Chains A and B, each alone.
Chain A
Amino acid sequence: MIVDLEIRCPKLGHQVKFDYCEKEQISLPCKRIIKCWQIYFPVEIYLKKKLTEEEWNRCFNEKPKEKILTLLELIDAAKRRKEKKGQSKDKL
């Protein structure tokens, strides 16, 4: 039943199913998953069983970063990827 249910995702702005929320961060669920789904079933308990303690903490207990700091990290990561790509081209 849960797999068929759709709720509105406040981040994307349209309906999504639970399996999207469960993999929103690829290997981790969306950080909002409990807030959005808890009313429908004990998602917190379900995830505690499914995730390792490290994954749980990474998903739910890490202090959120300010957007501007996230942007700085993404800029650095993008620069590194571009440098790596440039090096690969040089080798060729």
Chain B
Amino acid sequence: MGPFVPELISDQLNLIVALLIGIAFGFVLEQAGFSSSRRLAGVFYGYDFTVLRVFFTAAVTAMSGSLLLAYFGYLDLQSVYVNPTWLIPAIVGGVIMGFGFIIGGYCPGTSVCAAAIGKIDAMFFIGGGILGVFAFGELYPLYHTFYESTALGPIKVFDSLGISQGLFAFILIAVAVGAFTITTIIEKRANKSSAPSLEFKLLKHKIAGAGIIMLGVMFVFMPSRQAHLTEKVQSASYGASHSVKIISPDDLAYRIIDKENGVQVVDMRLPEQFSALALPGSVNVQLKDLFGKELTPILSDRRVVKVVIGQNEDDSKTAAFLLQELGYENVAMLQGGLENFQHTILMPKIAITGSRWDVDVNNFRTNASTTISQMIANAKNKQPKIAKQEKKIQGGC
């Protein structure tokens, strides 16, 4: 599951990847005509909308690709760097860049690409850029407070607008296709004989536009991978055709007291439930985090039995099925969930009469209750073990 940094691709190798991605980036920019300041500036004067077409198509393509890869489990979107928002500085910076675009005729990426083929104005643009960043750095204390203001973190646009991810994807696609249509009309009017869009094959373009709008409609109805898989494993037919190893409370109690190495208790309850009562050696995992790759180190050791615990039987079963569905092996569930473990082991109802077997079981449970309660009390003083780790990918400009 991607991204492959930092687990599979080392920092050194990542620099080679950066070079290769850069080569492809520069090649495509140049082929698109982004090495020409007159073409770039044309977007603001209506004689050439190449920038808008390339820019929006690229954004829609990369967004759609990411959403599809995430849906099929090939990409962990939670591990992808999302540039954080500093709202007012972003607006002010954007406005200043708008001036830079009109006056300079390039943006930094396109200026590098243009300089590579010999555009002298692009070389001046880069020189100016270096001086601009230098001036910013030298005067930084003057606006340091403003620079750090309105920090909102790595928020996502659909959350900011209060709509679903799929609906936002559809709106973005619809706006892009609408903008393509309108700007083509404007371009032909502004530039009767030499508009780039005069060479478009209209039928092909209409078919492609209809295609991506259909993709957008699909995004609206495409559930998240989490919702889709959870619904799948909770269905009656899935339960009838799949099974998971079941561990009884007594069995688990024995393994906990024995401090068996080959067992990892995975507690899927809410963090507050976990901090109130955590079994010895257990880790707390939230359902939504299962779908990323951050938990892979804990869950992927085949030699270790992952004993999944929910509050009750159904929660435990759903979580255990999900782990299996996600490809993890050697998964088991605690019979009856933590509720059952509490009734059976931690607070057992001791019957004094009964068969020899019943008496033995009762003795075991009484001892286990004392021992495990003691272990829980000892572990309480320590830092609780939360499985989710901090993100490691750095990004941004």
Instruction: Tell me if chain B binds chain A.
Output: no
